[in-house]
Homo-oligomer: A and B are copies of this chain.
Amino acid sequence: METNPSWTLRSYPSAMPTVENWVLEDRPIPTPAPGELLVKTLWLSVDPYMRGRISPAKNYASGFKLGDLMYGGGVGEVVRSESSDFKPGDVVMSDYFGWQPFSVIPSQSAKRITNSDAPVQASLSYLGMPGLTAYFSLLRTGAAKQGETVLISAASGAVGQIAGQIARIKGCDPVAVAGSDEKLAWCQELGYRAGINHRTSKDLVADVAAACPNGIDVFLDNTAGPIHDAAMLNLNVFGRVAIVGTIALADRFDQPDVGLRHLRKTLITRARIEGFLLDDFAADYASALADLLSWYKQGLLQTREDVAVGIESVPHAFVRMLKGENFGKQLIKL
């Protein structure tokens, strides 16, 4: 009989999470109730938004309690179905995959993966949440237009690598901020025109200014922190800032963030700063996914995965992603 080692939350991190915040418990393979599916996990995804779920602070995503089974995005094969919409053998993605080899998910959360033009784990990256986030944050919230300079932080990450390429497809001038020269070299291959290494820069404001000689029209802020300041101080009149993520705050999530405030800059530029949550665009997922798939099939979307292997690796993969040590979309293959 197969075992089902499952990650549960042992403690809330006080600063940057460590693998000790979770514990691997052997749990039985669960039994699906009516309306549920038992799935065998093929891929798991770890994403920055999950940092907010392991904080006792109020957040937009309901948080995990101590002892709770962790869950997040995943792809798997249906083993047993208690829903007439799915049958064993179907490959599905859902945001409710437990961090475990066998998981029970609500059938309403599951989406059958029928596309054979891309690998199944694409549903966790460029044909899923990160790709859609890139698409809508750039084109809707950011309202990027041809010829505009678009600064993208975490530029080689799951969202950034797609956003930079969409910006190029749309005739924008994308500029990358990333944490290593290797990542920036990859960003250049993707079509980013210039890049700033935020870990080695001695003056981020000046380096962003040098990389964006015409100023910044659209800023996709995936990090908050000092990169936010460097972008705001180089923002053009009528600039748009999409607040997509705050991963630079991963180590101080429960403390108020204090730093430069850009209210006068906002007033003077008439900038529009807007928080981004993908769910708000659900009505338009289908057409966005059609665009993304079409670009992928035309060879316009290069992507890079950073794949950890085995259920044991999940917390480690999550933490290294939070630290920016991954290179490309962080996935776990079971």
Contacts and interface: CB of A to CB of B under 8 A. Distances in A.
For chain A, give the interface size range.
20 to 34
A276 interface: yes
A114 interface: no
Nearest to A268: B60
A198 interface: no
B246 A264 contact: yes
A266 B245 CA distance: 10
Contacts of A246: 263-264, 267
A66 interface: no
A258 B256 contact: no
A244 B259 contact: no
A39 to B, nearest CB: 30
Interface in A263-279: 263-277
Contacts of A244: 267
Copies in the complex: 2
A249 interface: yes
Given A224-B263, A264-B249, A275 B280 contact: no
Interface in A227-251: 228, 243-246, 249
Given A257-B260, A257-B261, A263-B221, A272 B270 contact: no
Nearest to A270: B275
Nearest to A224: B263
B228 A263 contact: yes
Contacts of A265: 275
B258 A243 contact: no
A59 interface: yes
A17 to B, nearest CB: 17
Contacts of A245: 267
A114 B138 CA distance: 48
A257 B262 CA distance: 7
A259 to B, nearest CB: 5
A273 B273 CA distance: 5
A244 B263 CA distance: 9
A270 to B, nearest CB: 4
Interface of A: 59-60, 221, 224, 228, 243-246, 249, 256-277, 280
Given A59-B268, A257-B264, 14 more contacts: A221-B263, A243-B267, A244-B267, A246-B263, A246-B264, A257-B261, A258-B258, A259-B261, A261-B261, A266-B273, A266-B275, A267-B277, A272-B273, A273-B273
